[in-house]
Amino acid sequence: MSRRRSNQTSGCDEFRQASQVNRRQLLQVGALGALGLGWGGLQAQLEAANLSQLTPRKKPAKACIFIFMWGGPSQLETFDLKPDAPAEVRGDFNPIATKVPGTQICEHFSRLAQWTDKLAIIRSLTHDDPAHLSSGHATLTGQLAPVVKSDADPPSSKDSPHLGSLISKFRPNQAGLPSFVAMPWKALHPAASGGEAPGQHGGWLGSAYDGMLLKGDLNDPKWRPQGLGLPDNMGLDRLESRVALLKMMDAQRASLHESLAGSAFDSHQTRAIEMIGSPHVRQAFDLTQESDATRDRYGRNIHGQCVLMARRLVEHGVPLVSVNWHNDGKNFWDTHGDNFNRMKNDLIPPADMALSALLQDLEERGMLEETVVAWVGEFGRRPQITKNNAGREHWPFCYSGLLAGGGIKPGVVYGASDKHAAYPVADPVSPQDYATTILHAMGVPTAETLPDRENRPHHICSGKVLQDLLI
């Protein structure tokens, strides 16, 4: 039987669970009423017995690391293998046992198999949009793109805000660091006419909520975060004098011309200057502070070092870090051809190393309970293998994703697919549900609306909270 329930039902369940009391407590309350204690005294006794606390006991997560597997990982080669399916469906890989009895994942995720007791594996993600760009928007924002089923529409001001932009709105960082950091690029698809995926910026919230983009290969020993360093011939004193001159010029310019774009630029400029002058900020972005052993454990590659950087940033107070799977021209998750060799040799090994190292690191540092970890792509792959090139085509109707930490129930499998991993047969989960659950776990009021730049209201979420996935 499906565990899927309406929001109204889930809310009633929360109320019942929060207000459950044992028989002795109820008798005590009744006795107090019979003795004539007024409501004030009765309320005090109720609070002492913890009977009037109807709010969830779990504290909201402090941060989220959103690992976006751009391109669409195959569910049949990751977390929903079908060993009994026909050969043209099941593929070349075998399932292996994990730390959770009865739960199997792909044999090439051998490291992650030891950490499944920390994971919620979702096997019933589903939607009907086969286009990379518009389904990427839904994944990163939890809202449908302005134009659905389209690889031709690039980012625009009509996009919904990235989850990180929403977090920036509700939980602005006061520690000098940005509230939202993405790396190592803005996901784009070279074969899509629209190019860059929409939904990776502030959208209708405005460019002030775009977040910070860390570009480049973080595994390169020469890599440094752009914008956080000074030229060799400029010290902080010289920078401050130039800043004072710029402020004077800006004030004169503002008296002649004001625009929203200018205001957004000024706020970004101010934040950049504050970051350059802060040792705390520069330390947060310094991967050389990590031991060689730690860097090796995450993987000496772009993805591994990005995930390690994400851990450093949330440790220093950044609420949301998005790691977008990179494109180096070879190991992109869009496996239309040579699916099995590419998954085995190029894609799964760095993903396995980075995610397992992250879970271990967060657990050992006491950070996992307060950090949501999300691992998901924009869709899955078609169950039937393409004969002429051993590839799998786009398939949004059923795919897998992961959640962990931050109030997410560990060691569970949520939802189920049919015998070919083609369609959900229990507990279907939309990208909107997935994103709404993350925001809820972080304490964002998911039922609220926010005004855009023209003061028009927008719902920040359009999915339901997956209550069965929460502790």
Residues 403 and 259 in one domain: no
- Does the pTM surpass 0.85? The reply is no
- The answer to whether residue 385 sits within a structural domain is yes
Is residue 378 predicted with pLDDT exceeding 90?
A: yes
**pLDDT digit string (tens) for 223-274?**
999 866 544 554 445 544 554 555 555 555 555 544 444 445 455 555 655 6
Across the range 96-102, mean pLDDT stands at 98
- The answer to whether residue 53 sits within a structural domain is no
Residues 136 and 191 in one domain: yes
Q: Is the distance from CB of 163 to CB of 211 less than 8 angstroms? A: no
What's residue 307's pLDDT?
Answer: 98
Higher-pLDDT residue of 467 and 262 is 467
Residues 44 and 170 in one domain: no
- The answer to whether residue 404 sits within a structural domain is yes
Count CB neighbours of 277 within 10 A: 15
Residues 438 and 347 in one domain: yes
**pLDDT digit string (tens) for 1-36?**
444 433 333 334 333 343 343 433 433 333 333 333
**pLDDT digit string (tens) for 423-451?**
999 999 999 999 999 999 999 999 999 99
**pLDDT digit string (tens) for 237-248?**
554 455 455 555
Residues 295 and 389 in one domain: yes
Residues 276 and 294 in one domain: no
Domains in the chain, number? 3
